[in-house]
Amino acid sequence: MEFVMKVPESLICLHNFPSSSIAGVLAQETHFENLVSFGGSYIAASYVKTLEAAGARVIPIRINLTDEDYVKLFKAINGILLPGGAVDLKSSRYARISKIFYDLAIAANDKGDYFPIWGTCLGFEELTVLTSDEVLLTLTTRTEDVSLPLNFSESALRSKLFKNIPPSLYKVMSSMPITANYHQWSLSMQNFTQNEKLRKFYNVLTTNSDGELEFISTMEAYEYPIYGVQWHPEKNPFEWRKTTHISHAAEAIYMTFYMADFFVNEARKSQHEYTEDTAATQPLIYTYCPTYTGNISVFEQMYFF
């Protein structure tokens, strides 16, 4: 298949919102035993790099702050990314802080204060818990380190996320195994359909199957700028461990930056401002140094806190 990288018209046109954005990325407890000595919490650097490559600046949302601090941070950032990982969806600090920002975002958007949320893998799963108040995931062991094409729903091309996707990229994502999956738990279509809260809140954009279970791989909220992917767009350009099955093909890289550009443009719609007062206590990611962990973990680099 010949792949021609064509910049979509939506990315060329001038947007009617601010040109800068600050994206928060939520840290989580360090759950790798061999990495605890580096710090009690972390953010994989690939998430930061992906957002920066799309034109955003990043602030880490650390897990040891006060509720008051999180409210201040919410007012200072233009969107939040809930990254993948392996902490508890109910009892972890990652879960508790996700709920704080989710509740703030719902209330803000209801008042016309635009604020997007993006959840990847664990973040996707956390969004389903926050919306349904239940853990409805099904355990599967056939989606760990596997790349898949996406099965797009009939409504996908009318969605916010995919309505401007170039036809060539849509064809690639539909046919080539380029979305990296690293999850043992999945939200089955059956569980989604049977839960009224999820069914009314989210539009299913893509699904996948492990051979036995059909699960949701991409979704977006109907009424809110909330998006979730069970797969990992950030891994294709920035994670290079030889024992993995992550695609680094040109098509996969283009896919990553389509997704990143979409979310960063969503963040640009937010009117929140990162002030000098906030910067004094909650600095941008530039003040932290990533640690090389490619020889001892699944991530090439990680920020520890």
> Which residues belong to the active site?
121, 232
What is residue 197's three-state secondary structure?
helix
Tokens (6 digits) for 92: 């972890």
Residues 6+ apart with CB under 8 A from 263: 23, 51, 54, 79, 81, 116, 118, 227
Residue 286 phi, psi (nearest 5): -60, -25
Helix (H), strand (E) at residue 185: strand 185-186
Distances (CA, A) of 257 to 5, 102, 249: 12, 25, 13
Using alpha carbons, select from 203, 204, 99 the residue that is nearest to residue 151: 204
Q: What are the backbone dihedrals phi and psi of residue 4, each rounded to the nearest 5 degrees, phi first?
A: -110, 120
Phi and psi at residue 224, to the nearest 5°: -130, 155
Angle, vertex CA 246, rays to CA 255 and CA 268, nearest 5: 35
Residue 36 corresponds to which tokens in the numbers above? 């605890």
Residue 275: what residue type?
A: T
The CA-based angle 212-88-81, given to 5 degrees, is 90
